[in-house]
Amino acid sequence: MQKNILSLCILTASALAHSGFEPVGDVALSNISGQSGITIDADLYATIGSVEYTDEGIVGINDIVIGGANKQTYFGIDWGPGTHSGNKLDGSLLTIDVLPDGDLVIAGGVDPAVGGIIDFGITTGSIQLHSADRQTTATLMDSISLSGVTTKFRMKIDAATSHILTEADIGISDLDIDISSLNMKIENVFIASSSYFESKRDWGPQGIALSDIVTAIKMDMHADDDGLHITPQRLKFDMGIGSVSIADASIGSFGLNDVDLSQMSLVVSGHP
């Protein structure tokens, strides 16, 4: 196998040499830029017919759509062209880089041409439970609709420890969940920075700053013999629930101020 590979390399080099390619000198080679990673600029609109998790039974999520939220305002404010993207998730720049110590860094930023913020939207159809033979089916949720904005995403995979560190600034402007099996609807849920309620009180609804609507999330993940460890290093936010309806009658709204889950830890493991 090694001889075949070596022969292929020699033939390729010979073909290039006889095709008018000249060797690159040391000075020219030093001027070639290729040590700052790569940047990807892409528009995303994805549909997924269904996703199924199979254990002894089956959980299925149907009609998933991922893209832009296609809204004019978020948290009651128009944040400019970065959030006017229609149904596509666009305006993001993804940079992939390998550091000198071997760490892999994936950093997501916002295209300066669209400002400092981009919108996203995720919707699903029904979430269903199936028996192994699919003879019994129950609808767990009828639909989920989520929209929001983001200003930053970055992830680093540590070469020495295999820990995955993820940081993101995200604000969820509107989350709606329809659960007909309980005759319940949860609507107009938002998750924002832990400064949101205070800023809204002090500055009014139109005085809210971008830093008040996006919450900084920092998460560490690693695996060992016990399973997958998920440890939030920063997870602080304000949360509002606009309406909870049971049997088409609202039971009121809720607000959660200064929620801090930074000390929480999870271990995900399989079972025999």
The answer, yes or no, to whether residue 192 has pLDDT greater than 70, is: yes
Query: Looking at the domain assignment, is residue 5 inside a domain?
Result: no
pLDDT digits (tens, 9 = 90+) for 139-171: 999 999 999 999 889 999 999 999 999 999 999
Distances (CA, A) of 50 to 1, 136, 187, 208: 42, 18, 24, 38
Task: Tell whether 8 is covered by a domain.
Answer: no
Is 19 within the bounds of a domain?
Answer: no
Per the CB < 8 A criterion, the answer to whether 137 and 129 are in contact is yes
**Domain that residue 63 falls in:** 35-268
- Average pLDDT for residues 191-219, to the nearest whole number? 95
Q: Residue 14 pLDDT > 90, yes or no?
A: no
Within a domain: 20: no
- Confirm if 107 and 153 have CB atoms less than 8 A apart: yes
- Could you tell me if residue 116 is inside a domain? yes
- Checking if the pLDDT of 30 tops 70, the result is no
Q: DSSP secondary-structure letter at 269?
A: -
Query: In the prediction, which pLDDT does 22 show?
Result: 44
Q: What is the pLDDT of residue 44?
A: 79
For the stretch 43-83, pLDDT in tens is 778 999 999 999 889 999 999 999 888 888 999 999 887 77
Whether residue 182 is contained in a domain is answered as yes
* Mean pLDDT of all residues in 1-6: 42
pLDDT of residue 10: 41
Give the number of domains in the chain.
1
Query: And the tokens for 40?
Result: 């990807």
Distance from C-alpha of 119 to C-alpha of 66, rounded to nearest angstrom: 11
Give residue 36's pLDDT band: very low, low, confident or very high (50, 70, 90): low
Q: Residue 2: its pLDDT value, please?
A: 40
- What value does the mean pLDDT of the chain take? 84
Query: Over 90: is that where the pLDDT of 21 sits?
Result: no
29 inside domain: no
Average pLDDT over residues 161-187: 94
pTM for the whole structure: 0.79
Using the predicted structure, report yes or no on whether residue 31 has a pLDDT greater than 90. no
Task: Give a yes or no: residue 92 inside a domain.
Answer: yes
